[in-house]
Structure 1
Amino acid sequence: MSNTPHTLGEEFPGQMDKIHALKVSDPRFAQLLADYDAVNDEIHVAETNLQPVSQDHETGLRKRRLVIKDQIAEALSLMA
């Protein structure tokens, strides 16, 4: 597995201005970003074996990150 961080800038290139605008204006969106960063950090720690976890747990984290990423993408698509 890759241990490259999946930063929001990499996941949503060219949309950081929109992300920042939503973050400051929408507390729910700000929480999504915090959740994404927290899960992403957990995955990175697991991938680098700093805190080994089971494959099932790592897979669950990856699925959770994907769900959050989809929610972020949806919010961005609704922004005018």
Structure 2
Amino acid sequence: MQGENHALMFEFPEYKDKIHEMKMSNKGFGSLVDEYHHLDHKIRGLEMANIPTDDENFRDLRMRRVQLKDEIYQQITQ
């Protein structure tokens, strides 16, 4: 669905506190979370504003968001 909020607190509500703790204590993890947040914000902004962009660009942005989400999930469930 276009414009859907994929913020980590909605994607992984059960890990909200753990994500915050890990972000504060692990700079590498914090960088992943920050990149995910900025990318999700960019994607939603483009979708909501109906900014013209090619399908390949959107696919690449969304694919990177999925990759980041997978990496984050792997780290919070270890």
CA distance, structure 1, for counterparts of residue 18 and residue 74 of structure 2: 12
Counterpart amino acid of 2:15? Q
Q: Going by fraction, where is helix more abundant, 1 or 2?
A: 2
Kindly indicate whether the alpha-carbon contact (under 8 Å) linking 1:46 and 1:58 is maintained by their aligned counterparts in 2. no
Q: Deviations over 1:19-72 (max 9, x none)?
A: 011001100000001100111011112211353211110111000000000000
Runs of 5+ unmatched residues, structure 2: none
Q: What's the TM-score once normalised by structure 1's chain length?
A: 0.89
Q: RMSD of aligned C-alpha atoms?
A: 1.2
| Identity among equivalent pairs (%) | 32
Runs of 4+ in 1 over 4 A off after TM superposition: none
CA distance, structure 2, for counterparts of residue 34 and residue 13 of structure 1: 17
Residue 15 of structure 1: SS of its match in structure 2?
helix
Runs of 5+ unmatched residues, structure 1: none
